[in-house]
Every structure is written in structure tokens, then in C-alpha cells.
């Protein structure tokens, strides 16, 4: 070809250089692990025509089509666009937003994870930062999506309050609770909110729905699961609205943009700059 | 608290999840709409999960009694599917 290959630009556009010369594994943009049948048909078609007939599912719900040839890259992009598929990203920017199925599908779900993932994607996907930045959204305490391994993890919760009028005093909630936060005395349900982890099992098990149970969010910050393994920390109280949620995520990503050194993951920025400083910023965003 | 008369009893303390729920479900299928089943289950995982599964099947839970012997008895009224 004789041209210099701009690998950085290709990488930014989701083309990952393979071991095999002039072969690329094309990463697609996927939000919350959801693809339409139309997307899948097009992916299959492209993999057969331009790749070697197989696709790779990444560890973060992405799809990659390996063995795309350098000279076909533009054609492949055009072809994929016809099936509603866009290239993903790699490198120092906001990566694929992952999500479990959430409360629209899963009986355990406390929040609409897919909706939250889409909003996060629209808000931040591809944003240039000092290093990679990952969001993950999990619907409940079962944590199928492993929220705390992300730079920002969002975990669905239920903000529960007992409704006396609807309660039949059956006792199911006391046993459904896994943190021993519920006790029943003289027909009254008492919740110890210091012990409550807002998992919502009390409300979900209640036969008469005698609970106010609004969707809420528990956020974790600074998780990594690569060369260094570190669990994100959750310094904030329960987040009770979407507006509040995105105020806090805005503040977190801005803190990273402002303070991180190039090539430094969020955890290490927090270690270096100090969590106290970060938590103060978070608290301000939390309180609005 | 509403009074109830038990029509049938099933003991699921001899099985583990998820067979606990399956055994309870089979027992409920034997009953008619509105009849009452008492389900005896172990403390721990069964009592944490079985009541919710019964609720999600659409049946009506009336009471959970602590037998003070490491087991609980769930009182359930069968609700037939409308379909």
C-alpha cells in the first residue's frame, strides 16, 4: 500500500491491530449488551464476507469481527452502517457501557439498567480522557454485572418504606431480609436503615406490596480489574433520582478529566490526589 | 389477622433449592382455586426465597409461622390463573 497506517486513529475507531499483518479485529459499539436481530444478521454477513466467518464476544459485552483487511475498512464501515451497527472505541476514552437486563426483564431487577446505560452512552461514550474509563450498570445486589470492577459502577437499589395500612403482618419480609435489618414488634415492621442495604428483597417478597419501593442507585468509584485488581468504593448515601445520579457521574468523570495523568486509571488518580478531595466533590454534586 | 382453614400440607424440608419451590408448586397444582396449603420449610435459603417465588406465581400468602424448631410454615391460598 505504501501509505503510513495511522494505528491510533484506527484504534479510536474500534479497529484493533491483530498479530497478523494488515488484519484488524473490528470492535462494534454495543450498549448494555443489547443487539437487534437486524444488527446480528449484518454482523454475520460482514464476518463471512470480510472476516474469516467468526465473531468474538468480548468480556465487556462487545462484539469484535476479526480478520478485517486494511484495504476493506471503509467498505466494512459502510456495510455495517446499513445494519444499524457502529464501530466501537478503544484507547483512552469512555468505553462500552455494560448492563445486565434490569427490571424490564429480570424479576430481581431494581432499576431500568438498559435505559441508564443508554443515557450514559449518549452522555459520555467515546469522550476523550487521560485513560480508559468504564461504566457498568447492574440491576440489583446479585451484581451479575460486577459493578465495582468499573471506574464508575451503578447498582440498582430500592428505597424501601413500610406501608402500615397494607401490611397483613405475615412475617415474610423479616425472613427475606439478608442483613437482619427488619424486625417485627407488636405488628409493626421496624427497619434498621443502618443495616439495610436497599436490596429490595423485603418489598419483592411482600404478598401485599406493603412497601413504597422506588428505584435508587448505589455508585462505586475507582474499580479496576486488569493488571491491578481493585474494588470500587461506595462513599455516598443512596441516590434517589436519575437527575441526582447523572449529577454525580458528571462530577466523577470531570474529576478524572481534571486530575488524572495521561495513562493513569481512575483508582490511581484517587490514590494520588486523595479520596477526601474527590469525596468532597461528589458530596457537592450529590446535594446539588 | 384473617382466619384460615388448611386444606393440605406439604413438607419441603427434605429437599434443597430449587426443588423446594418445585415441590411446593406441585402441591399447589393439586389444589382448587381458593384452597389453602401449608408449606413447611427450613430456615435459611428456603424461607428467604420460597415465599417470593410463590408470590411471583400469583398465589396469595397469608402468613409465615415460626415453628421454633428451625422450620417455618408458610400459609398460601391458591389463586388460579385467569387465562
Pick the closest to residue A143 from A178, A108, A119 (CA basis): A108
Cβ of B52 within 8 Å of Cβ of A205? The answer is: yes
Of B47, B49, B60, the CB nearest to A207: B60
**Cβ contact B63–A171 (<8 Å):** yes
Chain B residues 8-67 within an 8 A CB cutoff of chain A = 43, 47-49, 51-52, 55-56, 60-66
pLDDT at residue B83 in the model: 59
Distance CA A108, CA A101 (A): 10
- CB atoms B61 and A175 under 8 Å: no
Instruction: Tell me which chain A residues have a C-beta less than 8 angstroms from the C-beta of B64.
Output: 170-172, 175
Chain A contact for B3 (CB, 8 A cutoff): no
Q: Which among A169, A176, A206 is the nearest to B1, CB-wise?
A: A169
d(CA A175, CA B52): 11
CB contacts of A213 in chain B (<8 Å) are none
The mean pLDDT value for B19-43 works out to 96
Question: Angle between the A266-273 and A275-287 helix axes, to the nearest 10 degrees?
Answer: 110
pLDDT at A10: 81
**3-state SS, one letter per residue, for B16-62:** CCCHHHHHHHHHHHCCCCCCEEEEEEECCHHHHHHHHHHHHCCCEEE
For each of chain A's 288 residues, which pLDDT tens digit applies?
445 778 877 878 889 999 999 999 999 999 999 999 999 999 999 999 999 999 999 999 999 999 999 999 999 999 999 999 999 998 999 999 999 999 999 999 999 999 999 999 999 999 999 999 999 999 999 999 999 999 999 999 999 999 999 999 999 999 999 999 999 999 999 999 999 999 999 999 999 999 999 999 999 999 999 999 999 999 999 999 999 999 999 999 999 999 999 999 999 999 999 999 999 999 999 999
Place of cell 498479530: A19
Which chain B residues contact residue A109 at CB under 8 A?
none
pLDDT of residue B59: 96
Which cell numbers in the block locate residue A31?
Answer: 450498549
pLDDT, residue B81, reads: 78
**A189 contacts on B by Cβ (under 8 Å):** none
Bridge partners (DSSP) listed for residue A69: A23
Using the Cβ of A171 and the Cβ atoms of chain B, whether some distance falls under 8 Å is answered with: yes
| All domains of chain A in start order, with CATH | 7-81 (3.30.70.3340), 98-287 (3.30.413.10)
The closest of A87, A116, A135, A103 to A253, measured between CA atoms, is: A135
Strands of A211-221's sheet in order across: A98-99, A135-138, A152-162, A211-221
User: What pLDDT is attached to residue A6?
Assistant: 81
Q: Is the pLDDT of residue B1 over 50?
A: no
**Greatest alpha-carbon span in chain A:** 84
Task: Tell me the count of A-B CB pairs closer than 8 A.
Answer: 42
* Percent of residues, chain B, with pLDDT higher than 90: 89
Q: Which residues contact A254 (CB under 8 A, 6 or more apart)?
A: none
How far apart, in whole angstroms, are the C-alpha atoms of residue A62 and residue A81?
17
Question: With an 8 Å Cβ cutoff, are A176 and B72 in contact?
Answer: no
Amino acid at each position: 500500500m505504501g501509505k503510513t497506517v495511522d494505528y491510533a486513529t484506527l484504534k479510536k475507531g474500534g479497529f484493533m491491530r491483530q498479530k497478523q499483518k494488515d488484519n484488524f479485529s473490528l470492535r462494534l459499539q454495543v450498549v448494555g449488551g443489547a443487539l437487534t436481530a437486524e444488527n446480528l444478521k449484518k454482523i454475520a454477513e460482514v464476518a463471512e464476507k470480510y472476516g474469516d466467518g467468526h465473531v468474538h464476544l468480548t468480556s465487556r459485552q462487545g462484539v469484535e469481527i476479526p480478520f478485517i483487511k486494511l484495504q476493506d475498512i471503509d467498505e466494512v464501515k459502510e456495510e455495517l452502517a446499513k445494519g444499524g451497527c457502529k464501530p466501537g472505541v478503544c484507547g483512552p476514552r469512555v468505553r462500552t457501557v455494560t448492563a445486565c437486563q434490569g427490571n424490564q426483564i429480570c424479576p430481581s431487577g431494581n432499576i431500568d439498567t438498559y435505559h441508564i446505560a443508554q443515557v450514559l452512552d449518549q452522555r459520555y461514550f467515546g469522550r476523550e480522557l487521560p485513560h480508559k474509563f468504564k461504566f457498568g450498570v447492574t440491576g440489583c445486589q446479585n451484581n451479575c454485572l460486577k459493578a465495582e470492577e468499573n471506574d464508575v459502577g451503578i447498582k440498582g437499589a430500592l428505597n424501601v418504606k413500610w406501608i402500615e395500612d397494607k401490611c397483613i403482618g405475615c412475617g415474610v419480609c423479616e425472613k427475606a431480609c439478608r442483613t437482619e435489618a427488619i424486625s417485627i414488634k407488636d405488628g409493626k415492621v421496624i427497619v434498621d436503615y443502618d443495616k439495610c442495604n436497599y436490596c429490595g428483597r423485603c418489598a419483592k417478597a411482600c404478598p401485599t406490596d406493603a412497601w413504597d419501593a422506588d428505584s435508587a442507585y448505589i455508585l462505586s468509584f475507582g474499580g479496576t480489574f486488569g493488571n491491578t485488581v481493585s474494588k470500587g468504593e461506595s462513599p455516598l448515601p443512596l441516590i434517589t433520582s436519575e437527575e441526582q445520579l447523572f449529577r454525580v457521574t458528571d462530577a466523577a468523570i470531570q474529576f478524572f478529566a481534571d486530575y488524572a495523568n495521561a495513562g493513569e486509571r481512575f483508582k490511581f488518580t484517587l490514590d494520588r490526589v486523595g479520596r477526601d478531595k474527590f469525596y468532597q466533590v461528589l458530596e457537592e454534586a450529590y446535594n446539588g | 389477622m384473617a382466619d384460615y382453614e388448611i386444606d393440605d400440607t406439604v413438607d419441603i424440608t427434605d429437599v434443597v433449592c430449587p426443588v423446594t419451590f418445585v415441590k411446593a408448586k406441585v402441591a399447589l397444582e393439586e389444589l382448587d382455586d381458593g384452597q389453602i396449603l401449608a408449606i413447611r420449610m427450613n430456615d435459611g435459603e428456603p424461607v428467604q426465597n420460597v415465599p417470593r417465588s410463590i408470590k411471583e406465581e400469583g398465589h396469595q400468602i397469608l402468613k409465615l409461622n415460626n415453628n421454633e424448631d428451625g422450620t417455618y410454615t408458610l400459609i398460601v391460598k391458591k389463586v388460579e390463573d385467569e387465562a
